Amino acid sequence: MNTKTTYVSWIIRILISFLFILSAVAKLYPSPYFAITTFEAKQLVPLGFDQCYGAYFSRLLISFEFALGILILLPFYLKRIVIPATILLLSVFCVHLSLSVFGIMEGAANCGCFGELIPMTPTEALIKNILSIGLLILLFKLVKQQKNKHFIYLIVVYLISLGALFYVAPNKSCESLDDKFEKTNSIYSQYIKDIDDGEKLLCFFAPGCDHCMATARQLDSLSLLNPVFPEVYIVFMNEEPEKIPSFFEFAGREFRYEIMDVAQFWKVLGFENDTPGIYYLINGNEINSYQGINEYKFQPDLLLKDIENVKN
């Protein structure tokens, strides 16, 4: 291989390595567990993957991407295994993206190739992958066949990548909250059916309350960002119930709700508390609560921490 060929070959290898490592790392941004769970929910579950097994598959896939990004720079089985495997993986991605581009299968606006770090449409991702395959085919022609005796290195690189990923983003999707939180009867269960079943955000709102509307809007935004967000159930005070449609219009979506008499509303919420009132419940166990608009008001970042903590 002459100097010019070697130079071109290394440019391609470095570029492909950068793309694959960036793709793997970006799927862990900004928080590894949150990002990878979002990737599973938005990309794998719609394809029919079970949430539990999809969590394993996502880690196997992202580790494979990272390992290929490393192996493309190493001299082990480059022409026999690494380049063909990289082309094959990109080809599978191209098929999936093509189904979204041509409307055969519904796809997300962001293909998830670079996670939330670099949003990319299916069309943009398809073009990127086709160009990458072209570069890999050229690289395949440029590099010479080598006699390799160190196949174990390929296994070691992949296992290290896989182990590191499970370390920074453990699979919690297969864990059941029932194993952590024994079912109990909350004080709300006598007034609200099924409120003690699973993970719930019980909200006490007044239809005409501006702070309540803003809180509902925040909950809508959080639910779109977090694929494992608890079910939201709203109890409205029976004051200005005609404003409920405009309440949900402002919030961005309609949550499950019921309307409660004013006197009973304050009895259930607690006379010492205030709206907006939010209770984070798991199987009837109160994890945390937020009240009013002052010291104990609802804070989205604290709720996200609560949700993440119960998974640990």
pLDDT class of 38 with cuts at 50, 70, 90:
confident
Give pLDDT tens digits for 272-292.
889 999 999 999 999 999 999
Over the chain, what is the mean pLDDT?
88
Residues 226 and 142 in one domain: no
> According to DSSP H, which parts of 27-121 are helical?
32-39, 51-71, 83-101
Pairing mode, if any, of strands 277-282 and 285-290? antiparallel
* 74 within some domain: yes
The predicted-structure confidence for 160-190, as pLDDT tens digits, reads as follows 999 999 999 888 777 666 667 788 889 999 8
Q: What tokens does 239 get?
A: 């004051």
The pLDDT, as a whole number, for residue 4 is 83
Dihedral sign for Cα atoms in the order 293, 227, 56, 88: negative
pLDDT at 42 over 80: no
Domain boundary residue, one of 168, 191, 209? 168
Strands 256-260 and 277-282, sheet pairing: unpaired
Q: Which helix (H) or strand (E) holds 287?
A: strand 285-290
* pLDDT tens, position by position, 233-246: 999 999 999 999 99
Residue ranges making up the domain that contains 241: 180-311
CATH number at residue 305: 3.40.30.10
Confidence of residue 5 (pLDDT cuts 50, 70, 90): confident
Q: Which residue has the higher pLDDT, 174 or 65?
A: 65
Q: Is residue 174 part of a domain?
A: no
Is position 21 within any domain? yes
Q: Which residues contact 283 (CB under 8 A, 6 or more apart)?
A: 177, 178, 181, 182, 183, 184, 196, 197, 198
Contacts of 56 (CB under 8 A, 6+ apart): 171
Least confident of 57-66, 85-94, 180-189, 209-218: 180-189
Q: Provide mean pLDDT across the span 208-234.
A: 89
Kindly list the strands in the beta sheet with 277-282, ordered across the sheet, starting from the edge strand earlier in the chain. Answer: 256-260, 231-237, 199-205, 277-282, 285-290
Report pLDDT for 213. 96
Six-digit token string for 40? 């599973």
Q: Is 95 exposed, middle or buried (0-12, 13-18, 19+ CB in 10 A)?
A: exposed
Amino acid 63 reads S
Q: What is the CA radius of gyration of the chain?
A: 25
pLDDT of res. 280: 94
Give the number of domains in the chain: 2
In terms of domains, do 252 and 148 share one?
no
175 in a domain, yes or no?
A: no
Q: Is residue 269 domain-resident?
A: yes
* pLDDT score, position 63: 96
Per-residue tokens: 49: 């993957």
Same domain, 132 and 205: no
Is 87 in the same domain as 124?
A: yes
Task: Check whether residue 20 and residue 164 sit in a common domain.
Answer: yes
Task: Name beta bridge partners: 280.
Answer: 201, 288
Mean pLDDT confidence for 70-80: 93
The reply to whether 212 and 132 lie within a common domain is no
Whole-number pLDDT of residue 312: 60
pLDDT of residue 107: 63
Stretch among 21-30, 220-229, 278-287 having the lowest mean pLDDT? 220-229
CB atoms within 10 A of CB 267: 12
* Pair (303, 194) in one structural domain: yes
Same domain, 188 and 304: yes
| CA proximity to 122, closest of 85, 96, 146 | 96
Examine the domain organization and report whether 186 and 233 are in the same domain. Answer: yes
Give pLDDT, residue 108.
66
Domain stop point among 168, 202, 218: 168
Give tens-digit pLDDT for 111-163. Answer: 778 877 888 899 999 999 999 999 999 999 999 887 777 899 999 999 999 99
Q: In this model, does residue 247 exceed pLDDT 80?
A: yes
> Are 169 and 249 in contact, with CB atoms under 8 Å apart?
no
